[in-house]
Amino acid sequence: MLFSPGAEEMYPPDFDTAVVVQKQLTQTLCGASRPGHFEGVATVVAKLFNLVRPQRAFFGQKDYQQFLVVKRLAADLNTGCEIVMLPTVREADGLAKSSRNAYLTPEERASAPAVYQALKLAEGMLQVGERNPKEVIEAVRKRLRAEPKMEVEYIATKHAGTLEDLNILAGTVLVAVAVKLGATRLIDNVLVDVSTGS
């Protein structure tokens, strides 16, 4: 970032305003286990947009729910800022890049690529016609279970625009995973367009 105000400047003692993106977008997936997280994200992004007044802001696909929340508030508050999603950047073995990867032990690091492998498995199933979310989720779960140290927080298939659950997978489908490897929480996802498939 080109400027760096201190925390006491961004959040003075009488600070008392929150930007809240409601319902569906923030109460599912990572919002379910991290209450208040997306409120903090939305509030600080609204502040930064007022300070910087960007024409475009770029967010990575790895934090897809965050991208949707920011896109929602940017439109709803008439910020005039276009929110652009960029593809997830990955290590050679597929692990999504994240500052948290540094906390993984060598053993955990060896196990971590299973997340993306499981997501690619789901993508493959969707591409060859699978439309039952339970089958996709079960296949992802089975792949992740092969990693003894990996604890699954969620495996979900969602409508990519609204994050609603789907009984039959259709349109652009988000397949998202959150796991814990020891003390480190990892998330990743793939977007699969199945609108023309089956």
**Residues within the interface to a second copy (CB under 8 A):** 14-25, 42-43, 46-48, 50-51, 72-73, 76-80
Q: How far is CA 70 from CA 14, 43, 85, 91, 187, in A?
A: 25, 10, 11, 26, 18
Please report how close the Cβ of residue 167 comes to a second copy at its closest, in angstroms. 21
Query: What single string gives the DSSP state of each residue in 149-181?
Result: TEEEEEEEEEETTT--B-SS--SEEEEEEEEEE
For residue 47, give the nearest of 89, 97, 5 by alpha carbon.
5
**Nearer Cβ to a second copy (18/146):** 18
**Nearer Cβ to a second copy (77/137):** 77
Please report how close the Cβ of residue 185 comes to a second copy at its closest, in angstroms. 26
Helix axes 114-127, 133-145, angle to 10 degrees: 150
The whole-angstrom separation of Cα 181 and Cα 144 is 11
**Nearer Cβ to a second copy (24/117):** 24
Please report how close the Cβ of residue 26 comes to a second copy at its closest, in angstroms. 9
Phi, psi of 58 (to 5 degrees): -115, 130
Please report how close the Cβ of residue 21 comes to a second copy at its closest, in angstroms. 5
β-pairing, 150-159 vs 172-181, is antiparallel
Please report how close the Cβ of residue 4 comes to a second copy at its closest, in angstroms. 14
Please report how close the Cβ of residue 54 comes to a second copy at its closest, in angstroms. 12
Q: For residue 105, what are its two tokens?
A: 């032990």
**Nearer Cβ to a second copy (80/129):** 80
Conformation bin of residue 20: beta by default, left when phi > 0, alpha when psi is -120 to 50: beta
Query: What single string gives the DSSP state of each residue in 102-123?
Result: GGS-HHHHHHTTHHHHHHHHHH
**Nearer Cβ to a second copy (5/124):** 5
**Nearer Cβ to a second copy (16/168):** 16
